[in-house]
Chain A
């Protein structure tokens, strides 16, 4: 079946540090890949997505590239801010359907001033 494995947290960084949160997946065929973010006390919201191999999703300074050869979708940001403190979830959809989204366990990021 489909699965998503995320880097274990929590991750603590200083402001302006470089961020990488690893995500690898197992799925047949060509899933769509997503990163969702959950700010404290809120629901999740879509951060970025990629629907085919070599696509790069980007938003708010975050980027992730769909690597089929390594089955990965690592999230990166060159310079994090305190306001980026949140939980980040990697997810895949085998068919592009939200009904069939598989989420990773989430990675807590804390950015210190």
Chain B
């Protein structure tokens, strides 16, 4: 069966520090991968999605970036964090073939920028 994991689960970072959140999917090949942010009291905002290695589409301009160095690995990064980057970050995947609209989410990473 397919599984998705992301880490770290929680992170407290000072303003201006770098960020790296990692996500891996097991049990499937060539998944579509997504990074979402969930700010407090708000819905989910799609940040990045990827249909293959090295292929990243950005949905919202910001100081975050994403990379996909391997087929089932998706990384969210920042060189310098802002206070507004605080939130709950969710990685998700879908099969590359049929697309029913169902996303499979990881457990989430809670980032607090101080």
Contact = CB atoms under 8 A, between A and B. Distances in A.
Contact of A98 (B90, B94, B106, B108): B94
B102 to A, nearest CB: 5
B65 to A, nearest CB: 19
Interface residues of A, number: 22
A96 B102 CA distance: 9
Contacts of A106: 42-43
Contacts of B105: 43-45
Chain A contact surface mostly: strand
B41 interface: yes
A42 B99 contact: no
B99 A105 contact: no
Contacts of B43: 4, 89, 103-106
B99 A46 contact: no
B103 A96 contact: no
Interface in B77-106: 90, 92, 94, 99-106
A110 to B, nearest CB: 15
A104 B99 CA distance: 21
A67 to B, nearest CB: 18
